Amino acid sequence: METPDNATEAPASTRIADQDWATASAEPQYRAAVVDLLGALAYGELAAFERLAEDAKLAPTLADKAELAKMASAEFHHFERLTDRLTAIEVEPTGAMEPFAKALDDFHRQTAPSDWLEGLVKAYVGDSIASDFYREVAARLDSDTRSLVLAVLDDTGHGNFAVEKVRAAIEADPRLGGRLALWARRLMGEALSQAQRVVADRDALSTMLVGGVADGFDLAEVGRMFSRITEAHTKRMAALGLAA
Amino acid sequence: METPDNATEAPASTRIADQDWATASAEPQYRAAVVDLLGALAYGELAAFERLAEDAKLAPTLADKAELAKMASAEFHHFERLTDRLTAIEVEPTGAMEPFAKALDDFHRQTAPSDWLEGLVKAYVGDSIASDFYREVAARLDSDTRSLVLAVLDDTGHGNFAVEKVRAAIEADPRLGGRLALWARRLMGEALSQAQRVVADRDALSTMLVGGVADGFDLAEVGRMFSRITEAHTKRMAALGLAA
């Protein structure tokens, strides 16, 4: 692994991606970063479950309620896959999640939807940002962790239900667009501000995100990642009829 | 089917149990009863999902919260199996559920737990009564509907988590026992009173429960069913350290 030959042949940024968990986790900082990542994602899924289940109460019809409950249940299964993985690598899931509880709880507390449509926009925005982030971060992971993250990612996209409902509501009453656009902006702002807090607090995780562990990413790369996610969000909001 | 021969050979009470759905559902009243049953169970599962997800917020630890979320998610899957079945027999699930929404919503509104332990006792009592009822009703169903009901039943029993927690809490503070015993009694009382309302309102369902469709059960049999469920509840509460 450490022959000069290998070091020159493989671009630095693909080294971890070419390793499996057993090899990559020998580096304690990489291990700590993955534990952080899985803990943050797991708590994120659990918190999303709670909020979606809560928002289901705002549903105008039984069918709508069932759809939101379905999204909530999908989030819970992501949570289970992530915590199962933590257990498999001999990490107690609760301990891995706790450092991220406050940021995610704060995010949800500060973005409690005041009605059904705000809840739908939040479900869609949350689902989409999560997908984008999973996709971005997958490239930085060893093959085993990447498989898990992509498997969880593959199962998202329940947000389409939300898109249809929101688009129909705006068509029926175009004034809604302005309020919901503001709301989507607030969601993204809160998400970024909590994400920055997490990045500042968690050394191992941030180092992995900026590619500090035997990788070629520089600090600017994290900025670019956030910016790609924000751009994708803006495009989605426009497609939804909301100027973001 | 209507030869005198057949009528004398098979005991009346087993006739439907020996039929599959295609045969049994030719009788419109039986069909209506099963639609009612599946609709009531489906809404019950959706309502249970909502309440458990809500109660998860009262959890003292992250691990406890995850356990309650797991129970909620299991209820959601039961909901899906039941509504999938309604769709498969060409019944719109929402329409089948709506007649039962008020009774179940009223039950949950009147039994909102005021703390974590009350929530656990409710989860356990609800899970157990549901299991008992599924088991009782299974015997009255055609083979296809019975398989579904037993499959859903097989997947319950998440209540053991609640049992452990409640028992430990009562051991630590025996005075809790009195309050929680009262609470369990109130839950059972409310459940029975809503169940009676449903039975009074839904002719096809009640007729099936009393065995009115080509079956040998008499009216007293429903009374005995409720009484068996209540007795089982009493035993469980005693085992839990609660005099019911």
- Angstroms from A107 CA to nearest CA on chain B: 16
- The tens digit of pLDDT for each residue in A63-90 reads 999 988 998 999 999 999 999 999 999 9
Calpha distance A217→A148 (Å, rounded): 22
Q: How many Cβ contacts (< 8 angstroms) between chains A and B?
A: 74
> Is the Cβ pair A70, B80 closer than 8 Å?
yes
B99: confidence class by pLDDT, cuts 50, 70, 90: very high
Q: A43 pLDDT exceeds 90? A: yes
Residue with tokens 């509880």: A101
- Angstroms from B220 CA to nearest CA on chain A: 35
Number of domains into which chain A is organized: 1
- Angstroms from A73 CA to nearest CA on chain B: 5
Q: A8 pLDDT exceeds 70? A: no
Task: Tell me which residues of chain B, numbers 86 to 105, contact chain A at a CB-CB cutoff of 8 Å.
Answer: 93-94, 97-98, 101
Q: Nearest to residue A142, comparing CAs of A92, A85, A225, A80?
A: A85
| B contacts of A72 (beta carbons < 8 Å) | 49, 53, 72-73, 76
The whole domain housing A101 covers: 25-239
- Angstroms from A182 CA to nearest CA on chain B: 28
Please tell me the total number of residues recorded for chain A in this structure: 244
Q: Is residue B184 part of a domain?
A: yes
B212: confidence class by pLDDT, cuts 50, 70, 90: low
Residue with tokens 């509460």: B237
Q: ∠A151-A154-A155 over CA atoms, to 5°?
A: 95
- The tens digit of pLDDT for each residue in B144-195 reads 999 999 988 876 666 778 888 999 999 999 899 999 999 998 998 888 888 8
User: CB neighbours of B37 closer than 8 A, spacing ≥ 6?
Assistant: B137, B141, B145, B205, B208
Q: A14 pLDDT exceeds 80? A: no
Q: Is residue B8 part of a domain?
A: no
Nearest chain B residue to A59 by CA: give it. Answer: B50
Q: B1 pLDDT exceeds 70? A: no
- Angstroms from B240 CA to nearest CA on chain A: 28
CB nearest A57 (choices: B50, B93, B101): B50
Q: Please state whether the predicted TM-score (pTM) of the whole model is above 0.90.
A: no
A208: confidence class by pLDDT, cuts 50, 70, 90: confident
Q: Is residue B10 part of a domain?
A: no
Q: Is residue B4 part of a domain?
A: no
Whether B80 and chain A come into contact, CB under 8 Å, resolves to yes
Calpha distance A187→A107 (Å, rounded): 8
Task: Tell me which residues of chain A, numbers 39 to 78, contact chain B at a CB-CB cutoff of 8 Å.
Answer: 43, 46, 49-50, 53-54, 56-57, 61-63, 65-66, 69-70, 72-73, 76-77
Q: Is residue B13 part of a domain?
A: no
Q: Is residue A7 part of a domain?
A: no
Q: B115 pLDDT exceeds 70? A: yes
Q: Is residue B131 part of a domain?
A: yes
Q: A3 pLDDT exceeds 70? A: no
| B contacts of A49 (beta carbons < 8 Å) | 53, 69, 72-73
Which domain CATH number covers A103?
1.20.1260.10
Q: Is residue A58 part of a domain?
A: yes
| A contacts of B109 (beta carbons < 8 Å) | none
Q: Nearest to residue B45, comparing CAs of A66, A137, A186, A72?
A: A66
Average pLDDT of the segment spanning B206-212: 71
Output B198 or A59, whichever has higher pLDDT: A59
| B contacts of A70 (beta carbons < 8 Å) | 76, 80
